[in-house]
Amino acid sequence: MNQHNEEFFTLNELYLKQKRSIHIVAIILDCTAQYKTANDYLTRIKIIDDTFVKVDNNDTKKGYFEVCQFSQLRCKSPKVQKIGDIIYLRRYNVSANDDDRLQIQTNHQAKCSFHIFDSEQQHYNVIDSDYDGQLQISEILQERIKQLRSYCFQIFSTKSLMQMIWYGLEPQRENQINKKDFDMLLRIQDIEQIQNFDESLDPIPMVKLTLIDSDNNNYYLTFQDRNYTKGQVVKIRSVRHIENEGVIVKNDYSNVLKLSNFFYDFKNFQQIKYDMIEYMKNNFDFDDYIEDPSDEYRRFSVLKKIHSTNNTITSLQDLLKIQTNPSQYSIIKTQKFKTQCYIVDIQPQTLEEAVKKVSYMNHNICVSLKDSSNYNKHAELNRILEAQIVVKDQSIDSTLNILQLVLIQEEREKHHDFFKGVELQKITSENIQQYEQNYQKICQRLCSHSNTHRTVDIVVQPILFNDRILFRIVDTQFLP
């Protein structure tokens, strides 16, 4: 017991018995960025200690605890910068989640608080906390921090993060090839400060990171400034996917976490290879545009190579039949259907109606730019452009039937293939009309050839929405 009658529990003790309002000292293994839920900002932190850790990916039950840190204010969320730092959790609850895994959660009724200590320093100064008062650090707490600092060096200097917690791609399996949200270990090559950021929208300045892998391939990522330095090895947590030029696209879970110089992965960085990245480049990139000589305003490209090898054409009539049988969704949800069709209509007709701010984690959070006050609100949300593409083909040409395809253009640093010239990140209340004109021109151009029945290849994948099967566009041959 310490001077405040606070009993510290190891993670193994918590694993054996769930407890409430407990005090924990542990090592940070992984952490998400803060993202918005319905009522709070949530940060998920994975922790280990010298009694509870896994060193291979075969053990999925006993490897780490997950801390769900709910914060009412974004500025009060944990700002985890480095794997291996020590976190002290006061008055947290432990419970089992839906997957039968134990979670540590905030306990607002007990006025819980977190406190983070640097793993490499010998002092006991708190580097981040949501506690407004002065933390009294007892001798027992000091001793536990000292023990975990020693264990941190021991475990991370001899074990790769890939052996402890890792999400990667397996090119041998098609369903794994298309899996998103994988991790990477990269070295920072250059840092560019982004000027004129709006502190009212995000108090943390942003930087553009140029990163390299062990084969000196370049990658680019815009992220919050966490005092990065050139030469640091960082773990990019949960990469959504990589654009053609090496631009890393994030999601709500994405984070950039530093590795100390004593880490095994820092010392053996040149041994880390990304065969999967080369595989993705060879199979997912678009080839050069092919000019259509009959129309100076219209261009075509071939499908991504991974889809171009699919010579099976599915008629829209067959897709309509699939829609009437939602019970088979679990069987077909990973399938991709290649169609040859022409565009009849695009809805909504205005860009303001099409662009929304959403949370990828909580689909109930959705605000529209049609309300002009939302331009400067909800900076933590992601912008998407959601449209319905109405199409027909020969199988339903002589009928009144149509098929509505869902197209979701996510916020990216590069133009989307379909609505080229509509840059979601740059849309403001002042320039919305300029982008509105671009949107209208594209819609008119896409639909103006419907009378000629000029068909293009579109690849779709089923999604389930309100117990109904819809088809989302995942690739298209057509470029406006």
Q: Is 115 a member of any domain? A: yes
Question: Same domain, yes or no, for 382 and 425?
Answer: yes
Cβ-based neighbour number of residue 352 at 10 Å? 19
pLDDT of residue 201: 52
The string over 191-219, giving b where at least 16 C-beta atoms fall within 10 Å of a residue's C-beta and e elsewhere, is eeeeeeeeeeeeeeeebebbbbbeeeeeb
Residue 321 domain boundaries? 286-479
> Residue 409 CA to chain centroid, in angstroms?
15
pLDDT of residue 41: 87
d(CA 71, CA 224): 19
List, for residues 413-446, the tens digit of each pLDDT value.
444 456 777 778 788 888 888 888 888 887 877 7
pLDDT of residue 413: 41
d(CA 285, CA 283): 6
Of 161, 180, 207, the last residue of a domain is 161
- At 137, list the tokens: 């650090």
Question: Same domain, yes or no, for 59 and 87?
Answer: yes
Of 142, 161, 180, the last residue of a domain is 161
pLDDT of residue 321: 93
Question: Same domain, yes or no, for 295 and 240?
Answer: no
The string over 232-257, giving b where at least 16 C-beta atoms fall within 10 Å of a residue's C-beta and e elsewhere, is bbbbbbbbbbbeeebbbbbbbbbbbb
Of 251, 282, 313, the last residue of a domain is 282
pLDDT of residue 109: 63
Given a contact cutoff of 8 angstroms between Cβ atoms, the answer to whether 116 and 130 are in contact is no
Question: Same domain, yes or no, for 145 and 217?
Answer: no
Is the pLDDT at 241 greater than 80? The verdict is no
Q: Is 35 a member of any domain? A: yes
Q: Is 1 a member of any domain? A: no
Summarize the confidence of residues 331-351 as an average pLDDT: 88
Question: Same domain, yes or no, for 337 and 447?
Answer: yes
d(CA 415, CA 417): 6
Sheet architecture: strand order including 478-479: 290-291, 299-300, 478-479
Cβ-based neighbour number of residue 293 at 10 Å? 6
Q: Is 376 a member of any domain? A: yes
pLDDT of residue 275: 62
Question: Same domain, yes or no, for 181 and 273?
Answer: yes
Amino acid type, 26: A
In sequence order, the β-bridge partners of residue 242 are 248
Number of domains the chain contains: 3
Q: Residue 430 contacts by C-beta under 8 Å, 6 or more apart in sequence?
A: none
Question: Same domain, yes or no, for 247 and 296?
Answer: no
Checking DSSP bridges between strand 8-9 and strand 22-31, what pairing results, if any? parallel
Given a contact cutoff of 8 angstroms between Cβ atoms, the answer to whether 460 and 405 are in contact is yes
Question: Same domain, yes or no, for 47 and 132?
Answer: yes
Confidence of residue 21 (pLDDT cuts 50, 70, 90): confident
pLDDT of residue 267: 96
Question: Same domain, yes or no, for 357 and 267?
Answer: no
Question: Same domain, yes or no, for 122 and 227?
Answer: no
Closest residue by Cα to residue 112 from 26, 36, 10, 23: 23
For tokens 């819809």, what's the residue? Answer: 470
- At 457, list the tokens: 């290849």
pLDDT of residue 414: 45
List, for residues 94-128, the tens digit of each pLDDT value.
876 544 456 788 766 668 899 999 999 888 999 99
Nearest-Å Rg of the Cα atoms of the chain is: 25
CATH assignment of the domain containing 240: 2.40.50.140
Range in 74-88, 213-227, 359-373, 460-474 the model is least confident about? 359-373
Q: Is 446 a member of any domain? A: yes
In sequence order, the β-bridge partners of residue 128 are 116
Q: What is the pTM of this model?
A: 0.62
Question: Same domain, yes or no, for 271 and 344?
Answer: no
List, for residues 270-308, the tens digit of each pLDDT value.
988 766 566 555 554 433 344 444 444 444 455 565 666
**Mean of pLDDT over the chain:** 79
pLDDT of residue 19: 66
Question: Same domain, yes or no, for 333 and 418?
Answer: yes
List, for residues 119-159, the tens digit of each pLDDT value.
998 889 999 998 888 888 999 999 999 999 999 999 999 99
Q: Is 2 a member of any domain? A: no
- The single-letter DSSP state of residue 200 is T
Q: What angle do CA 165, 166, 170 make, to 5 degrees?
A: 150
pLDDT of residue 409: 80
* Residue of higher predicted confidence among 437 and 263: 263
